[in-house]
Chain A
Amino acid sequence: MKVNHTTAKRIFAGTMVLGLSALGLTACSTDSGDTSAGGDVTMSLWQNSTTGPGQEFWKKTVADFEADNPGVTIDVQAIQNEDLDGKLQTALNSGDAPDIFLQRGGGKMAAMVAAGQLMDITEGISDQVKEEIPEGSFIANSLEDKVYAMPVAVLPGGIFYSQDLFDAAGITEAPATITDLETAVEKLKTTGVAPIALGAKDAWPAAHWFYFFALRECSPDVLAEAADTKDFSDDCWIKAGEDLESFAATEPYNQGFLTTAAQQGAGSSAGLVANHQAAMELMGAWNPGVIASLTPDEKPLADLSWFPFPEIDGGEGEPGSILGGVDGYSCSVDAPAECLDFLNYIGSADVQKEYYAAFNAPPVNTVAQEAVTEPYLKEIIAAYNAAPYVSQWLDTVYGQNVGNALNVGVVDLLAGKGSPEQLIQAVNDAAKKA
């Protein structure tokens, strides 16, 4: 009997420890200890490529940089993309941030700048890099005329598709309007493949569909205003939700899309495209590299093609507008001066060419862009350069809190658990939790 009593007590204490382990997250904070004084410098680098050539690229780039800069050591940590933002925020909060890390820009970067966590690199960018990387790409990583990250890739979104599967379904032209897209979906269904792969488990790939409909329905002014005020009362937001709802009603997505991940494994949405089980996927320009790592022979998909997001009738948005991020790398405010050298190094044409080769993604450096050979990447770059209006991914623009609510709300909408009105309501509710 006594045993039971003490066991119960111990269990009880254990329970409390368990229950509170989550609370402990916020409890401790230390300052990062590395300085640039003296000879040897060690820096940490967080990047999001966990597979094949992408990871090799970072290892090689760092090794080359270390060879050119004796005394500098960079410790590369590959962090799975879905874990990166959360981990990074925890590290920044605790004052134990990595020295160099992936920067997605937008509202997320603004929060880091507001907290004084990022190094202002405006004056430190080398002239060569300034010449070769267009100013527009720096703007994506700037706030009030100060640059906070070195851009490495332009990653606009659009629909990637398998030419072979389109041919098999008798689709001769890339869909230009949503009606065309719906016709293509019907044709693909008869061939037995999933028309469109969607990794809704990660929420943001589902949300991209809503963002593109919003880009077509809403004027640039409304989009920009929402970024400032977080006010989503304009009619165009509801319309975008209704567009998505009616498109989803044609059941274009792979079965079980709700629990399909975006990038992990053959069962992920990118994996379905890589293995010819789904014909299309709406994604950013990083997708060719992800698909390549998931094909059976881990080589780029031979018949991969691309077309921009289709147009709709009667929207306020400018036709040809495009969504997309500019991936960059930031230095933590406490990072040693060598961090800046490294950023200039990864912006240089030679490293940018290797970046393109490793990630199969359009580099940001114009000299390196000339090395691009894949037709789909050329089309992406052309569409990007021709776009009358370019916006970052909306979850990035609107920051972590609203962006998160938006992403989850879109998944609810697609799963039939919410209406367009409820989606906008959920976004407004999120503001209360901030």
Chain B
Amino acid sequence: MSVRENTSTRLEVDLANGGDTGTTPVAPPVRRRRSSSVGAKVEIAVLVGPALIVFLGFVIFPVVMAAYYGFFSWQGYGPPTDFVGFRNYITIIQDPTFQEALTHNGIIVVLSLVLQGPVAILLALLLNRKLRGQSLIRVLIFVPYVISEVVVGTGWSLMLQSNGAVNGMLEKLGLGAFSQDWLSNPDIAIWTLMVIITWKYVGFAVILFLAGLQGIPEELPEAAAIDGASFWQIQRHITLPLLAPTLRIWAFLSIIGALQLFDLVYIIWGQYIASTAGTSTMATYLVANGRNAGNYGYGNAVAVVLFLISLVVALIYQRFVLNRDTEGAITDKGTKK
């Protein structure tokens, strides 16, 4: 905004300059231009300053400090003194528990996309049509997303206990054969987690897609229908392509969320047994081996690894998937100028 204002004042100045054909046409505008650009700089500083300070103080500074602490064997008391080079990083990469956690993150990334995507698209298409009780259904689908992770985690972990409500209900329905140790059987715990994640976050995807669908002009499906396209042909060839930018953003959010998943796992499986149950993530590994074990140097190194993995994934995604949307934005800006 400030940039545009700057150009416009310059234009005004030039106009005033051109209009005035009298004496000394050059000197005053230069002075005035300089003073206005100083003003603009002050304006930039005032507007950007607070955000920049917060960003530097709470994002960049901690990253730098974590990178620094990661090179030490440090129990957290006093300043770190025992420099160990890359030992922490080598230990992390070689630790089978970390490799398992990383694998779980990978599984969660893929399954989140595969499970939530199609379900959310279908629900969004359904809710985009005229339907009785539409707003009620929308609310019901979105409610899980609004509930705090702690409440969701506590609720599900109580219901899914071996003698909990879910198994109790299965037994009452005569389906006792299907009752399981949903949380404590390492073979199925991660699937239980995926069901909870899907239940919790599918509403968010639906809302995003609904917003995207509402941005599609009605004329397009209408015209296609007149040309004889069936409902599914319209969805396949008109709705989905136009929804693609929304899908790409949702997938990005989902991937990053899956990589950093912490709270649900920590609430349901607690501080210790996520790795035993096969649901550990990089973030729970960080807390278990950094904070719980009191190895703060090692924990910082894990945080750096987690950060780098998320960063690389985010950058690759932006470069190869989101770049279409970004290009559009840049050309848009160019034509305006």
Q: Could you list which residues of chain A lie within 8 angstroms of chain B, going by C-beta atoms?
A: 1-2, 4-8, 11-13, 15-20, 22-27, 82, 86, 89-90, 92-93, 111, 114-115, 117, 200-203, 254-261, 265, 267, 277, 399-401, 404-405, 407-408, 411-412, 415, 417, 429-430, 432-434
Is the CB–CB distance between A259 and B184 below 8 Å?
yes
Is the CB–CB distance between B300 and A26 below 8 Å?
yes
Is the CB–CB distance between A432 and B91 below 8 Å?
yes
Give the shortest distance, in Å, between B251 (CB) and chain A (any CB): 12
* Chain A residues, CB < 8 A from B256: 11, 15
Residue of A nearest to B301 (CB): A433
Give the shortest distance, in Å, between B207 (CB) and chain A (any CB): 14
The segment out of B8-16, B26-34, B41-49, B286-294 that lies at the interface is B286-294
Q: A19-B306, A203-B271, A259-B273 are in contact. Are A24 and B288 (CB under 8 A)?
A: no
Q: A1-B332, A429-B95 are in contact. Are A8 and B272 (CB under 8 A)?
A: no
- Of B78, B163, B307, B325, the contact of A5 (CB 8 Å cutoff): B325
Instruction: Name the interface residues of B241-293: CB closer than 8 Å to any CB of A.
Output: 245, 249, 252-253, 256, 260, 268-273, 275-277, 283, 286-289, 291-293
User: How far, in angstroms, from A343 to B320 measured CA to CA in the complex?
Assistant: 64
Is the CB–CB distance between B249 and A7 below 8 Å?
yes
- Of B163, B295, B311, the contact of A267 (CB 8 Å cutoff): B163
- Of B75, B157, B249, B293, the contact of A259 (CB 8 Å cutoff): B157
Is the CB–CB distance between B62 and A24 below 8 Å?
yes
* Chain A residues, CB < 8 A from B163: 255-256, 267, 277
B186 on interface, CB distance cutoff 8 Å? yes
Is the CB–CB distance between B294 and A4 below 8 Å?
no
Q: Which of B77, B277, B287 has the most CB of A within 10 A?
A: B77
Q: A4-B325, A23-B63, A201-B273 are in contact. Are A258 and B184 (CB under 8 A)?
A: yes
User: How far, in angstroms, from A140 to B306 measured CA to CA in the complex?
Assistant: 40
User: How far, in angstroms, from A357 to B328 measured CA to CA in the complex?
Assistant: 73
- Of A1, A7, A19, A92, the contact of B260 (CB 8 Å cutoff): A19
Is the CB–CB distance between B272 and A203 below 8 Å?
yes
Give the shortest distance, in Å, between A5 (CB) and chain B (any CB): 4
List, sorted by A's number, 10 A–B pairs whose CB atoms are closer than 8 Å: A2-B329, A7-B249, A22-B283, A23-B66, A90-B291, A200-B273, A259-B183, A415-B184, A417-B186, A434-B298
Is the CB–CB distance between B63 and A256 below 8 Å?
no
Give the shortest distance, in Å, between B317 (CB) and chain A (any CB): 9
Give the shortest distance, in Å, between B232 (CB) and chain A (any CB): 27
B314 on interface, CB distance cutoff 8 Å? yes
* Chain B residues, CB < 8 A from A18: 260
- The 0/1 profile, CB within 8 Å of A marked 1, for residues 159-194 of chain B is 001111000000000000000010110100000000
Residue of A nearest to B92 (CB): A433
**12 more A-B contacts (CB under 8 A) besides A11-B253, A13-B55, A259-B161?**
A1-B328, A7-B249, A19-B307, A93-B76, A256-B161, A401-B293, A401-B295, A404-B292, A408-B288, A415-B184, A415-B186, A433-B293
Residue of A nearest to B246 (CB): A4
Residue of B nearest to A8 (CB): B322
- Of B65, B78, B292, the contact of A27 (CB 8 Å cutoff): B65
* Chain B residues, CB < 8 A from A434: 73, 75, 295, 298
Q: A408-B288, A432-B91 are in contact. Are A256 and B181 (CB under 8 A)?
A: yes
Is the CB–CB distance between A26 and B252 below 8 Å?
no
Is the CB–CB distance between A202 and B157 below 8 Å?
no
Q: Could you list which residues of chain B lie within 8 angstroms of chain A, going by C-beta atoms?
A: 55, 58-59, 61-63, 65-66, 69, 73, 75-78, 87-88, 91, 95, 157-158, 161-164, 181, 183-184, 186, 245, 249, 252-253, 256, 260, 268-273, 275-277, 283, 286-289, 291-296, 298, 300, 303, 306-307, 310-311, 314, 318, 322, 325-326, 328-330, 332-333
B contact face: mostly helix, strand, loop, or mixed: helix
User: How far, in angstroms, from A260 to B161 measured CA to CA in the complex?
Assistant: 8
- Of A13, A26, A256, A277, the contact of B296 (CB 8 Å cutoff): A26
Is the CB–CB distance between B272 and A201 below 8 Å?
yes
Give the shortest distance, in Å, between B18 (CB) and chain A (any CB): 33
Give the shortest distance, in Å, between A32 (CB) and chain B (any CB): 15
* Chain A residues, CB < 8 A from B291: 25, 86, 89-90
Is the CB–CB distance between B326 and A5 below 8 Å?
yes
Give the shortest distance, in Å, between B316 (CB) and chain A (any CB): 13
Residue of B nearest to A22 (CB): B303
Q: A15-B256, A19-B260, A19-B306 are in contact. Are A408 and B161 (CB under 8 A)?
A: no
User: How far, in angstroms, from A412 to B75 measured CA to CA in the complex?
Assistant: 25
Q: A201-B273, A256-B161 are in contact. Are A12 and B314 (CB under 8 A)?
A: yes
Give the shortest distance, in Å, between B150 (CB) and chain A (any CB): 13
Is the CB–CB distance between A86 and B325 below 8 Å?
no
In the A-B complex, the 9 residue pairs with the smallest Cβ-Cβ separation, listed nearest first, are: A256-B162, A115-B77, A258-B184, A1-B328, A203-B272, A5-B329, A400-B294, A23-B66, A93-B76
Residue of A nearest to B289 (CB): A433
* Chain A residues, CB < 8 A from B73: 434
Is the CB–CB distance between A408 and B62 below 8 Å?
no
Is the CB–CB distance between B161 and A23 below 8 Å?
no
User: How far, in angstroms, from A261 to B95 measured CA to CA in the complex?
Assistant: 27
Q: Which of A404, A412, A433, A434 has the most CB of B within 10 A?
A: A433
User: How far, in angstroms, from A5 to B327 measured CA to CA in the complex?
Assistant: 9
- Of A19, A89, A254, the contact of B76 (CB 8 Å cutoff): A89
User: How far, in angstroms, from A26 to B298 measured CA to CA in the complex?
Assistant: 12
Give the shortest distance, in Å, between B229 (CB) and chain A (any CB): 26
Give the shortest distance, in Å, between A81 (CB) and chain B (any CB): 12
User: How far, in angstroms, from A229 to B109 measured CA to CA in the complex?
Assistant: 42
Is the CB–CB distance between B293 and A405 below 8 Å?
yes
Residue of A nearest to B287 (CB): A22
User: How far, in angstroms, from A285 to B161 measured CA to CA in the complex?
Assistant: 27
User: How far, in angstroms, from A6 to B249 measured CA to CA in the complex?
Assistant: 11
Residue of B nearest to A199 (CB): B270
Residue of B nearest to A254 (CB): B162
Residue of B nearest to A111 (CB): B75
User: How far, in angstroms, from A24 to B62 measured CA to CA in the complex?
Assistant: 5
Give the shortest distance, in Å, between A381 (CB) and chain B (any CB): 31
